[in-house]
Structure 1
Amino acid sequence: MIAQIEEFFNPKTADPPQDENVEIKEPVTEETEEVRKRTYHEAGFRDGSRNSGSPLALSICLNAIYARFQNEEKELVEKQQLAKEPYINEQKSKETEIKTLVISKESKEQQINKVETDIRAVKDNIEELKFEINDLPRNPEKYHISASKGASSKFWIGLIILMPLSLYLFTFYISTSYSAFFKLLDANSVTVVMNILDAKAFEKAWHDGSLEGLFVTFIPFVFLGLGYLIHMFGEVKSRWNYFKIGILFITSLLFDAILAYQIEEKIYELNKTAEDDKFGIFVAFGKIQFWGIIFAGFVVYLIWGVVFDFIMKEHREKDKIKHEQLRRKKDIQIHQDRISDIEIQKAKLIEELSDIKKSSLEAQGRIITLQRIIDAVIIPTKEYVLYASEYMKGWITFVSEKLHISMHEKIVLQTECIACYNENLKSVGASEDSQNSVYVTTL
């Protein structure tokens, strides 16, 4: 207990008071400080003598001492200004920060408004494209498309003609190819027609073997393919394409001539006598059946090609509309992808705007807090501990030297007084754990 009292009279030097890393600079001289300390010491001795060292009276007196210390600090205008200068500077910095945030906030809001305008414009484009897709078949000329509004009667008539012509060519080339390459004529073949057109050519070819069957099945597609190539080359007008078309026509004619020659040779060899000449190209040219086979195949093939080309041209008119519709559908998809990208950009801007508002609110809250500190009186707790300890020394000096009681009673009384003193320091925020802080209170 005695050691505790001795420690009180020899306190450790405390660190300078701090609040948010701010150090208070004291504009007082050492002489002024000594006078002030002596004043507090004398006040403690005097109050202790008046109250006979009562701990209860000490508690009340310490509260009064703290109030007195507050008033004294409040009167030290220059010292208060120095103490508040860091807070004033921080407040100015926060005000500048808020102005910057306001500008950033307005900029972000303008960007968001622009993004929303872009989204609305893109959505309007999508709606317009959807309307055009529905309106194109009804009014193609409105969109500068040279196409008929509906399927023309010429297209359907041509399609009706093309289908039986295709069936005819299938039948003709299956029969003639079988007769030319696989059929064996004998003395029982009565007429030429029976030898050229065989109603069971397809069945007989598959009966003779799969190779024969596949050959007669797919050979009509060769001629149809040639007709399709002629149409495709005719799409682009050029000398080279015209040359290709001529080669294809000659190829088709030669193939029909070969079929006719093969069939006519078989018929001639079957019916010739010892007096007849050997069959050759000039003999074939003199046979009416030879030219009949060519005309029955090649001429019909030409008719089929012309009808097919006409139908494709008519259908191309409808393709123009479908092409324009497809192009607009692709444009819609592009616009929708663009909207998704803009929405992502908008979400990012909204998030940035939210952060700016949050930072602005935090800065405004900090300014309010700083203003409260500036309007208040800053109490340097280190100095209060210094002067309060001087007051306590005066009080304890009276108890030790002037109060006529036993030594044991003095020690008990001093211990109680020190406890009151520590309680006072704790109540005003000047405990040992907070010696380096600046205690702020509003008067």
Structure 2
Amino acid sequence: MIAQIEEFFNPKTADAPQDENVEIKQPVSEEGEEVRKRTYHEAGFRDGSRNSGSPLALSICLNAIYARFQNEEKELIEKQQLAKEPYITEQKSKETEIKTLVISKESKEQQIAKVETDIRVVKDNIEELKFEINDLPRNPEKYHISASKGASGKFWIGLIILMPLSLYLFTFYISTSYSAFFKPFDANSTIIMNVLDSKAFEKAWHDGSLEGAFVTFIPFVFLGLGYLIHMFGEVKSTGNYIKIGLLLLTTFIFDAILAYQIEEKIYELTKTLDTPEFNIPIAFGKIQFWGIIFAGFVVYLIWGVVFDFIMKEHREKDKIKHEQLRRKKDIQIHQDRIADIETQKAKLIEELNKFKTDSIAAQERVKTLQGIIDAVIIPTKEYVLYASEYMKGWITFVSEKLHISMHEKIVLQTECIDCYNENLKSVGASEDSQNAVYVTNL
């Protein structure tokens, strides 16, 4: 206890870390400070004598001393302004920061609004493209597409007609080519049976692979000629018309050769010693010669016309499908663009939220700083200095003037020191702090 009392009379420089830290450079002379210290010391001695050194009375007196110190500091206008200067500067900086954040926030909000408008525009474009995809087959001219409505129905009707015609041509040319080049004719068979053999395909492959391949692939020659005629007809020009004419002539000559070969075999079956040799004039005079030609060539022409019609209708369908596919690709591009814009929007919202958070934090800081500026800043280092002088006066009275035993004096002094430390704690002072201030409202 004695060591504690001795330590009190030789105190360390102390302050209390509180709401804010600031170093106060008070414009007070050393002489004025000594006078003020002496005043507090005398007040402590006087109050101690009046209250016989009572710890309870000391606690009340210390509260009064703190209130007195507050009033004194409040009256030191220049000193308070000097102490509050850093807070005022920081407050101005925060207010400028808030204005900047408000401008940035408004800018981000405008950017987000623009992005949302862009998203709505792109979504409207997608809906418009979807409508056009559905409307294209019904109203192609509305979209400046030269495709006739109902092309799909004409296409399927033509395809239905083309398929049996193709089967007919396959059957006819397989049979006639086998009869013309490989089949031995029978005098006991009818002309129709000799010309058209229902088992021509099987017999040709039975005779040999060469014969089978020939009769199998010869229909494709005629179909290929028909395809070439269609392709040349795609581009209207004199050269192409000449080519088409030559292809038709070639097809006719091919059919005529088949008919001539068959008719010659039939003629040989009925030939006598007085019968002249078979020749072209004789062939032209035979009705079955022209029947074979027209059964092949005329049907071939019909097949070519139907095929050309189907291809044109398919081209009409392709125009619409092409436009639909193009719009579907545009939709995918728009959807990818929306994803990119959404990512951009999310980034802008994140930045906006940061601006809002920073703005709220800055506003709270401004309020805190304003509270400090409106309050009285109490330099705890100085309060400890003057309060300790007050206590020295109090303890001096107890030590020198109070007539009690030494043990009672030591106990009383210890209790008084405890009251003093409690007071420092209650007002925010601590012996471990340095250059701290305590903010309080009067």
Q: Decide: shared fold, TM above 0.5.
A: yes
The CA distance in 2 between the partners of 1:303 and 1:170, in whole Å, is 14
CA change 1:232–1:417 in 2 (3 A) is farther
Residue 370 of structure 1 is matched in structure 2 by 369
CA change 1:197–1:395 in 2 (3 A) is same
The CA distance in 1 between the partners of 2:425 and 2:358, in whole Å, is 35
Residue 413 of structure 1 is matched in structure 2 by 412
SS in 1 for 2:147: coil
Q: Could you give the per-residue CA deviations for residues 259-289 of structure 1, whole angstroms, max 9, x where no partner exists?
A: 678878988999999999999xxx7897558
Residue 166 of structure 2 is matched in structure 1 by 166
Residue 47 of structure 1 is matched in structure 2 by 47
The CA distance in 2 between the partners of 1:309 and 1:25, in whole Å, is 105
The CA distance in 2 between the partners of 1:298 and 1:21, in whole Å, is 111
SS in 2 for 1:12: coil
Moved more, 146-155 or 197-206: 146-155
Identity, % of aligned positions:
87
Moved more, 112-121 or 12-21: 12-21
Residue 81 of structure 1 is matched in structure 2 by 81
Ranked by relative contact order (alpha carbons within 8 Å, sequence separation 6 or more), the top structure is 2
How far is the alpha carbon of 1:97 from its aligned partner? 1.0
CA change 1:18–1:441 in 2 (3 A) is closer
How far is the alpha carbon of 1:420 from its aligned partner? 0.8
Report the AA paired with residue 33 of structure 1. Answer: E
Task: Give the TM-score of the pair, scaled to structure 1.
Answer: 0.83
Question: Is the contact made by 1:48 and 1:394 (CA closer than 8 Å) also made in structure 2?
Answer: yes
CA change 1:421–1:248 in 2 (3 A) is farther
Report the AA paired with residue 345 of structure 2. Answer: K
How far is the alpha carbon of 1:166 from its aligned partner? 1.1
Q: Could you give the per-residue CA deviations for residues 262-317 of structure 1, whole angstroms, max 9, x where no partner exists?
A: 878988999999999999xxx78975588876665455434422321122213333
Report the AA paired with residue 116 of structure 1. Answer: E
The CA distance in 2 between the partners of 1:432 and 1:258, in whole Å, is 128
Q: Could you give the per-residue CA deviations for residues 222-249 of structure 1, whole angstroms, max 9, x where no partner exists?
A: 5434433443454345788779868866
Question: Is the contact made by 1:17 and 1:380 (CA closer than 8 Å) also made in structure 2?
Answer: no
The CA distance in 2 between the partners of 1:108 and 1:388, in whole Å, is 55
Moved more, 168-177 or 263-272: 263-272
Task: Give the TM-score of the pair, scaled to structure 2.
Answer: 0.83
Moved more, 398-407 or 132-141: 132-141
SS in 1 for 2:71: helix
Q: Could you give the per-residue CA deviations for residues 199-237 of structure 1, whole angstroms, max 9, x where no partner exists?
A: 112333455678866664455345434433443454345
Residue 116 of structure 2 is matched in structure 1 by 116
SS in 1 for 2:378: strand
Matches within 5 A, 1:144-163: 144-151=144-151, 158-159=158-159, 161-163=161-163
Segments of structure 1 that go 5 or more residues without pairing to the other structure are none
CA change 1:394–1:232 in 2 (3 A) is farther
Moved more, 23-32 or 340-349: 340-349
The CA distance in 1 between the partners of 2:402 and 2:68, in whole Å, is 26
Size of the aligned set, in residue pairs, is 439
Residue 322 of structure 2 is matched in structure 1 by 323
Question: Does structure 1 residue 202 correspond to structure 2 residue 201?
Answer: yes
The CA distance in 2 between the partners of 1:337 and 1:416, in whole Å, is 80
Report the AA paired with residue 144 of structure 2. Answer: H
Q: What RMSD, in angstroms, separates the aligned Cα atoms of the two structures? A: 3.8
The CA distance in 1 between the partners of 2:246 and 2:90, in whole Å, is 93
Report the AA paired with residue 119 of structure 2. Answer: I
Question: Does structure 1 residue 127 correspond to structure 2 residue 127?
Answer: yes
CA change 1:176–1:315 in 2 (3 A) is same
SS in 2 for 1:379: strand
Question: Is the contact made by 1:16 and 1:23 (CA closer than 8 Å) also made in structure 2?
Answer: no
Residue 90 of structure 1 is matched in structure 2 by 90
Report the AA paired with residue 402 of structure 1. Answer: K
SS in 2 for 1:149: coil
Report the AA paired with residue 43 of structure 2. Answer: A
Segments of structure 2 that go 5 or more residues without pairing to the other structure are none
Q: Could you give the per-residue CA deviations for residues 363-404 of structure 1, whole angstroms, max 9, x where no partner exists?
A: 111111110100000111111111111111111111112222
How far is the alpha carbon of 1:410 from its aligned partner? 1.2
Moved more, 137-146 or 261-270: 261-270
Moved more, 265-274 or 183-192: 265-274
Moved more, 333-342 or 64-73: 333-342
CA change 1:418–1:302 in 2 (3 A) is same
Moved more, 77-86 or 21-30: 21-30
Residue 442 of structure 1 is matched in structure 2 by 441
